[in-house]
Amino acid sequence: MAEIEALIKAFSGHGVDEKTVISILGNSQPEHRQAFRKEGGFFAEDERRFERWNDHHVKLLKHEFMRFKNAVVLWAMHPWERDARLIKEALKKGPNSNSVIVEIASTRSSDELLGARKAYHSLFEHSIEEDVASHIHGKEKKLLVALVSAYRYEGPKIKEDVAKSEAKALISAVKNAEKQNPIENDEVVRILSTRSKPHLKSVFKHYKEIAGQHFEDELDVHLILQAAVQCLITPQSYFSRVLDEAMRDGADKNTKKGLTRVLVTRADVDIRAISDDYRNHYAIPLADKIEAKAKGSYKEFLLTLMARGS
């Protein structure tokens, strides 16, 4: 039945197609809703032939209904508050969300990161540095604390001899990875957390010239370190990857949140560069991918944010 298929599709994906839900489900007869319960896959039938919502699907649908609201709420916030709340949520979610902390600490300007720290202090009566240090217990702690504490020089000056020397220090850290994880190496942490982004681009240029390959290509087993380098040097490539992972079939709810987070936080910054990178990497315009994957008001809002960069 076409209406049942349309209703199932309306409930599937990123967000919910509210217009279809209202027009079909709101005007449906009892027998139509019974057919939906039997065919939709959202309900389970017990031994008494009682049809009940599958608890897992209820949780998923709640998240999908909330996507539009969450996107609007985040968009309306001051960027400092937004980043502070995103970091707080990432800390609550645990190690799998540490990349969000890296993302915010490494892609914001010095003043923006300082503003997020001020907002965090006002909202939660703790410092970001304090909470990162107390909530993160693995090898990533040293780097994450250093990144969120950073206030980088943002001018154009670069000392090429220093950049070359620091490239050699990174090469040494990679060569000695069996003795010490590079993410715990004091020189690696110092370079990534204190140097300006133009300086770091020079460091990694020298690294490639000396080592014959890119620094981040040698970090497959150090994903947070890899994310930090990408965010600092090629943020548009990092963000396009986050978007692609968020829109893959079977992505978990936390991964899906990357779609909202990136569109909301980058719409006024570099969404055009991210969109160009996405098309180059995945051979499809980002707007077309969102059109295909997202639903309803959530989709329309994301596309509106994307249009700001056109």
Is 89 a known ligand-binding residue? no
DSSP structure string for 3-58? HHHHHHHHTSSBS--HHHIIIIITT--HHHHHHHHHHSSSEEE-TT--EEE-HHHH
pLDDT recorded at residue 8: 87
Alpha carbons 135 and 234: distance in angstroms, whole number: 28
pLDDT recorded at residue 221: 64
Closest CA to 207 of 216, 219, 194, 197: 216
In the predicted model, is pLDDT for residue 1 greater than 80?
no
In the predicted model, is pLDDT for residue 47 greater than 90?
no
Domain coordinates in residue numbering, the chain: 2-53, 152-233, 236-307
CA distances to 13, 41, 48, 308 from 35, in Å: 21, 11, 18, 42
211 Cβ neighbours under 8 A, 6+ residues apart: 171, 174, 218
Mean pLDDT over 194-221 rounds to 92
Which pLDDT tens digit goes with each residue over 217-276? 887 768 899 999 999 999 999 999 999 999 999 999 899 999 999 999 999 999 999 999
The amino acid occupying position 79 is P
296 Cβ neighbours under 8 A, 6+ residues apart: 10, 15, 16, 17, 18, 19, 20, 68
Contact 131, 124 (CB under 8 A): yes
The amino acid occupying position 15 is G
Is 15 a known ligand-binding residue? yes
What CATH number should be reported for the domain whose range is 236-307? 1.10.220.10
The amino acid occupying position 285 is P
Closest CA to 269 of 136, 95, 82: 82
Which pLDDT tens digit goes with each residue over 116-125? 999 999 999 9
Is 138 a known ligand-binding residue? no
Is 40 a known ligand-binding residue? no
CATH architecture of 152-233: Orthogonal Bundle (1.10)
Is 250 a known ligand-binding residue? yes
Alpha carbons 266 and 263: distance in angstroms, whole number: 6
More confident residue, 41 or 69: 69
Residue 56 class from Cβ within 10 Å (0-12 exposed, 13-18 middle, 19+ buried)? exposed
Alpha carbons 36 and 1: distance in angstroms, whole number: 10
Helices and strands, number each (H, E), in the chain: 18, 2
How many C-beta atoms lie closer than 10 Å to residue 48's C-beta? 6
* CATH topology match: 152-233 vs 236-307: yes
Which pLDDT tens digit goes with each residue over 78-111? 999 999 999 999 999 999 999 999 999 999 999 9
